[in-house]
Amino acid sequence: MKRLHIELGDRGYPVWIGDNLLLRSGRLLARLGFDTPPIVVSNARVMRIHGKALVHSLQDIFGRVSMVCIGDGERFKNQATLTRIYDGLLRARAGRRSWVLAFGGGVVGDVAGFAAATFLRGIPWVVMPTTLVAQVDSSVGGKVGINLAQGKNLIGAFHQPNAVLADTTVLRTLPARELAAGLFEIVKCGAIRSKALLAYLESRLDAVMKCEPEAIERVVVDAVRIKAGVVAVDEREEGARMVLNFGHTVGHALEAATDYRRFKHGEAVAWGMVAAAGLARAAAGLTSQEEERLVSLIHRIERLPGLGRISSARVWQALQRDKKSQGGRIRMVLLSAIGRTEIVDGLDPARLRQFIAEFLKNADRHGQ
């Protein structure tokens, strides 16, 4: 088990990463000073596979455990689900000393964290991410929220958890597509900050995809360490933290344009990275060799869902609503080289719109 620390002063918190943390979760959380029963927010699939181990560990320490079960999938990251969690907190007679334990993937963490941020103006919460994408991305950094029909994460807050427990054992139960979605977020971390991580993925991809303990723990720890370093410098995404959005500008637009039904989040980010790499050749000086290196690794991981019949007009509309846009100008994180990024502001709208249309038309043939 590895222990990292998110350095945010009095809002800092530990991140534990390793095998079989579910079985030790009650004791680890008690060490942090929790002494009241948690309200666990999860979904039926996660509880069916892993719930027994978690509940036993928590009951050994805290006795009673309250449960709130929500839907499984990005389309449930909405106001209706948020209300369901509030109702569960009220049924559990939650007060200011109560705490939420988010047990699931990124949707569970984002919505449960937002509920914790806003219930009674904020109560503590802990994240136990059960997907790879949640372990390396959404569980760290305190960004919580819900989607609107018009765009992703348009309603939200910064509310740092009190701890993150990332049990790498649970990753072995993930469907191959879900695991691949998380690997794309690890590729992103390597692309923006670490040539060594990208090289490790290239050389040890089979071991990582088989969730061999040493290999999967290595890449999860490296990715979390990269994100922790960025968050410590820029907690509220006022500047430096934007680098973590590499691939997300186009990726979020693809998700919104397909009503969050065609892509896993990581898959949309993967297509977003492919698009951003193409843009970076002209706008940031990325070499064609480094573009091909990144795109090749992405396509080694998974054959991505196609982009056929996605409306370029809807993608363009979603891009214009992106949270990083300012005054109608679209800002994008682009690579100048593997491990180095630039934030490019004010891309020519006409050229960018043409690029998006051509990308949607031709991307399915790229790298497959």
**Catalytic one of 178, 212, 237, 342:** 237
One-character DSSP codes across 166-198: EEGGGGGGS-HHHHHHHHHHHHHHHHHH-HHHH
H or E segment to which residue 313 belongs:
helix 312-320
**Catalytic one of 248, 264, 324, 353:** 248
Helix axes 312-320, 248-257, angle to 10 degrees: 120
**Catalytic one of 43, 162, 245, 324:** 245
**Nearest-angstrom CA–CA distance, 156 and 163:** 20
**Catalytic one of 152, 159, 193, 227:** 227
SS3 258: coil
Determine whether 237 is an active site residue: yes
**Catalytic one of 185, 255, 267, 302:** 185
User: Is residue 160 within 8 Å of 151, Cβ to Cβ?
Assistant: no
User: Is residue 322 within 8 Å of 253, Cβ to Cβ?
Assistant: yes
**Nearest-angstrom CA–CA distance, 238 and 245:** 12
**DSSP code of 331?**
E
**Nearest-angstrom CA–CA distance, 31 and 175:** 33
Determine whether 159 is an active site residue: no
Determine whether 265 is an active site residue: yes
**Catalytic one of 159, 193, 252, 324:** 252
Determine whether 121 is an active site residue: yes
- For the chain, the residue count is 368
- Residue from 294, 297, 291, 296 nearest 278 by CA: 291
Residue 308's contacts (CB-CB under 8 Å, 6 or more residues apart) are: 364
User: Is residue 40 within 8 Å of 68, Cβ to Cβ?
Assistant: yes
Strands 39-43 and 100-104: parallel
Residue 232 has φ and ψ, to the nearest 5°, of -60, -30
Residue 358's contacts (CB-CB under 8 Å, 6 or more residues apart) are: none
Residue with tokens 């892509």: 263
**Catalytic one of 159, 241, 324, 353:** 241
Determine whether 143 is an active site residue: yes
**Catalytic one of 50, 77, 84, 143:** 143
Determine whether 252 is an active site residue: yes
Determine whether 366 is an active site residue: no
Residues catalogued as catalytic: 121, 143, 185, 227, 237, 241, 245, 248, 252, 265
